[in-house]
Chains A and B, each alone.
Chain A
Amino acid sequence: MKRHFGRIKLGLALATLAAAASLIACQPSATPAQPPQSTEQVPVESPPAQQTSITMVVAQEPTGFNGLVTDTGYEQLVGELVYLAVSEIDPQGDIYPELAAEIPTLENGGVVLDEENWTMDVTWKLRDDITWADGEPVTADDVVFTWNAITDPEKGIWVDGVDYTDSVEKIDDYSFVVHYNTVFPGYRTQFGGENFAVYPEHFCEAEQGFTAWDCNRKPLSDGPYILKDWQTNDYLLFERNPSYYEEGKPAIDQIIVKVVPEESVRKTMMMEGDADVNMWLTVASVAELEGQPGVYVSHAPTQRWVMRLIPNLAKRGTIDASAEPHPIFSDLQVRKAVRMAIDVDTIVKEIFLDYVQPVWTEFFRPPYNVCDIPRPAYDPDGARALLEGAGWVDADGDGVRECHGCATAEEGTPLSFELMTYAEFGEELELAQQLIGEMLGGVGFDVQLSVIEGAVLWADYESGGIEQNGDFDLNLYDDGYPGTDPTDNMLWYYYHTDAAQPDSGWNVGRWSNADFDALIDDAYTLDEEYRKEVFCQMAEIMDAELPQILMWSGIEANAFSSRILGAQSTVNDSLSWNVADWTLGE
Chain B
Amino acid sequence: MLSYILRRLLQAIPLLLILSLLLFTLVNLAPGGPLAGLSRTRRASTEKTEQLKQQFGLDKPLPLQYLIWLAGNDWMRVDLDGDGVKESYGTRRGILRGDFGFSYRTRQPVIEEIRHRVGNTMYLVSITLLVVALIAIPVGVLSAIKQYSTFDILATTLSFVGQAIPEFWLGLILIFIFYAWLENPLTGQPLLPVGGMYTVGAPFSLLDRTSHLVLPVIMGMVGWVAWYSRFLRSSMLDVIHQDYIRTARAKGLREWAVMFRHALKNALIPLVTLFALDFPYIFAGSLYVELIFAWPGMGRLYYDSAVRRDYPVMLALLIIGAGLILICNLLADIAYAALDPRVRYD
Contact = CB atoms under 8 A, between A and B. Distances in A.
Contacts of B201: 31-32, 34-36, 53, 237, 254, 256
A233 B300 CA distance: 9
Nearest to A467: B43
B41 A479 contact: yes
Given A23-B211, A32-B200, A464-B32, A455 B37 contact: yes
Contact of B186 (A25, A233, A504, A506): A25
B195 A274 contact: yes
Interface in B210-240: 210-211, 214
Given A237-B201, A260-B294, A268 B33 contact: no
A116 B117 CA distance: 60
A493 B45 contact: yes
Contact of B184 (A5, A6, A21): A21
A13 B44 CA distance: 53
Nearest to B298: A233
A17 B188 contact: no
Interface string B266-292: 000000000000000000000000111
B46 A460 contact: yes
B207 A70 contact: no
Nearest to B303: A261
B105 A63 contact: yes
B202 A32 contact: yes
B107 A216 contact: yes
B254 interface: no
A455 B34 CA distance: 7
A26 B49 CA distance: 53
Contact of A271 (B49, B172, B180): B180
Given A10-B182, A505-B46, A27 B199 contact: yes
Given A27-B207, A157-B51, A504-B46, A258 B35 contact: no
A287 interface: no
Interface in B171-213: 172, 175-176, 178-197, 199-203, 205, 207-208, 210-211
Interface residues of A, number: 92
B296 interface: yes
Interface string B12-53: 000000000000000000011111111111111111111111
Given A28-B205, A32-B201, A274-B195, A464 B184 contact: no
A154 interface: yes
A565 to B, nearest CB: 22
Contacts of B52: 157
A212 B107 contact: yes
A258 B196 contact: yes
B207 A26 contact: yes
A6 B83 CA distance: 66
B82 interface: yes
Contact of A234 (B31, B185, B294, B304): B294
Contacts of A259: 294, 296
A7 B179 CA distance: 11
A108 interface: no
A72 B304 CA distance: 12
B46 A503 contact: yes
A458 B40 contact: no
B157 interface: no
A390 interface: no
B87 to A, nearest CB: 10
- Which of B33, B52, B188, B201 has the most CB atoms of chain A within a 10 A radius of its CB? B201
Interface in A460-496: 460, 463-465, 467, 477-479, 481-482, 489, 493
Contacts of A478: 42
B129 interface: no
A272 B190 contact: yes
Contacts of B300: 233, 261
A1 interface: yes
B81 interface: yes
B48 to A, nearest CB: 4
B291 A261 contact: yes
Contacts of B83: 153
B11 interface: no
Nearest to B178: A17
A506 B43 contact: yes
B116 interface: yes
Interface string A4-16: 1111111001000
B80 interface: yes
A464 B32 CA distance: 6
B180 A272 contact: yes
A211 B103 CA distance: 12
A323 interface: no
Contacts of A72: 40, 105
Contacts of B214: 20
B329 to A, nearest CB: 30
Interface in B270-328: 290-294, 296-297, 300-301, 304, 309
A163 B47 CA distance: 10
B199 A17 contact: no
B163 interface: no
A235 B116 contact: no
Nearest to A239: B201
B293 to A, nearest CB: 8
B194 A269 contact: yes
Nearest to A236: B200
Contacts of B297: 233
Nearest to B203: A34
A464 B294 CA distance: 35
Given A13-B182, A17-B182, A21-B185, A70 B46 contact: no
A458 B184 contact: no
A469 to B, nearest CB: 11
Given A33-B202, A463-B33, 20 more contacts: A5-B180, A9-B183, A13-B182, A20-B191, A24-B191, A26-B207, A27-B184, A28-B202, A29-B187, A63-B107, A155-B55, A216-B107, A265-B175, A269-B195, A274-B193, A455-B37, A455-B309, A456-B32, A460-B33, A477-B42
- Would you list the 4 A-B pairs with minimal beta carbon distance, nearest first? A32-B201, A463-B33, A456-B32, A232-B116
25 contacts: A1-B188, A5-B176, A17-B178, A22-B186, A27-B189, A32-B201, A70-B106, A157-B48, A158-B45, A158-B48, A211-B55, A212-B107, A217-B106, A234-B200, A259-B296, A260-B195, A261-B290, A458-B36, A458-B43, A459-B36, A464-B31, A465-B33, A467-B43, A479-B41, A479-B43
Interface of B: 31-53, 55, 80-83, 102, 105-108, 113, 116-117, 120, 172, 175-176, 178-197, 199-203, 205, 207-208, 210-211, 214, 290-294, 296-297, 300-301, 304, 309
